[in-house]
Amino acid sequence: MTRVLHCLYSIQRWFDSEAHADHLDSASRSFNAVRVLPFLALHAFCLLAFFTGVSTFAIGFAVVFFLARMFAITGFYHRYFSHKTFKTSRGWQFAFALLGASAAQRGPLWWAAHHRHHHQHSDAPEDLHSPQHGGFWWSHMGWFTCDAGFSMDEKRVRDWLKFPELRFINRFDALVPAVCLALIYALGEALALWAPGLGTSGPQLVVWGFFISTVALFHATVSINSLAHVWGRRRFETPDDSRNNLWLALITLGEGWHNNHHRWPLSARQGFRWYEIDVTYYLLWTMEKIGIIHDLNRLPEAVRKETLELDRAPFRRAS
């Protein structure tokens, strides 16, 4: 009976992440098969591309939607909600929380709580997604499939709990992706009717513009957990095993400068040198210039000088 209730509660949490929170074992790292079914379905639906076909418009839409949501994750879920590296109005805060939530990577408060925990215990046994203790696949997505990964420590995000709109998005974290999917389907059907020359349709645009784009976005994001702690170069001798990696920086709009980030997490810029491409920072800098955000945290002069001094010698390669 207990097992049946656990399954039923897991199903309820597909729609309401706070359902029966008192029955959630936040310390359990055991695989929760029921909880992870939507995640598996997200991947499986990508195979429908063999039936819907493909069009230039669908691929273009998928790429643009990938980039827009990647920025919402890197610029706002990470650098804003997790580290507060800049300030913005409540309206823009809500708008980018919505865009980030459409990535199906849970709510902004859950995301920030887990990331703050990661920085406190990076690559220690308490770090839920460290490859040093769980291996590649666990750090990449295994941690996401257990109750410990699903739960959220509210004490870590007390600064955000005062916003009811953020709490709503966070609690009903499947709502925004569902609405987004419906809108994309409607757009595809409208284009099939009004612009048939584009060669797209509702099903096709959903498969490419939502499912494939979202799966690619997920794996690009979590590659920072799994790869950026094992593959790359270390400029700073941080207590963890974080690395700098150009390729990861390119696919995540700047998050691949992970060793830099662990040296000074409060900087809005993670590419500390001019040649370290950090698209997220360039966009945040532009947003500051036009007044969308303000008080963008710059790299402290002491850390900048430390970076220059270390760069006089070759980077330390991964061992």
pLDDT one-digit tens code per residue, 100-118 = 999 999 999 999 999 999 9
Q: Show the tokens assigned to 101.
A: 């939530």
Q: Containing domain of residue 184, as a range?
A: 33-232
pLDDT of residue 96: 98
Average pLDDT over residues 21-28: 78
Average pLDDT over residues 217-243: 96
pLDDT of residue 29: 87
pLDDT at 318 over 50: no
Does residue 300 fall inside a structural domain? no
Does residue 311 fall inside a structural domain? no
Element (H, E) at 140: helix 136-140
DSSP 83-118: T--SEE-HHHHHHHHHHHHTTSS--HHHHHHHHHHH
Does residue 161 fall inside a structural domain? yes
Mean residue pLDDT across the chain: 94
Average pLDDT over residues 61-87: 98
pLDDT at 206 over 70: yes
Does residue 40 fall inside a structural domain? yes
Condensed to tens digits (0 to 9), the pLDDT of residues 153-204 reads: 999 999 999 999 999 999 999 999 999 999 999 999 999 999 999 999 999 9
Does residue 158 fall inside a structural domain? yes
Q: What is the pTM of this model?
A: 0.94
Average pLDDT over residues 67-77: 98
Of 24-28, 68-72, 251-255, the poorest mean pLDDT is in: 24-28
Of 200, 250, 252, 188, whose CA–CA distance to 224 is shortest?
Answer: 252
Does residue 28 fall inside a structural domain? no
Burial of 208 from C-beta contacts in 10 A (0-12 / 13-18 / 19+): buried
pLDDT of residue 1: 59
Average pLDDT over residues 32-50: 94
Does residue 157 fall inside a structural domain? yes
Average pLDDT over residues 250-276: 98
Total residue count of the chain as it appears in this document: 319
SS3 301: helix
Does residue 315 fall inside a structural domain? no
Residue with tokens 């220690």: 124
Of 231, 232, 279, whose CA–CA distance to 254 is shortest?
Answer: 279
Average pLDDT over residues 82-88: 98
Domain count of the fold of the chain? 1
Q: Which amino acid is at 2?
A: T
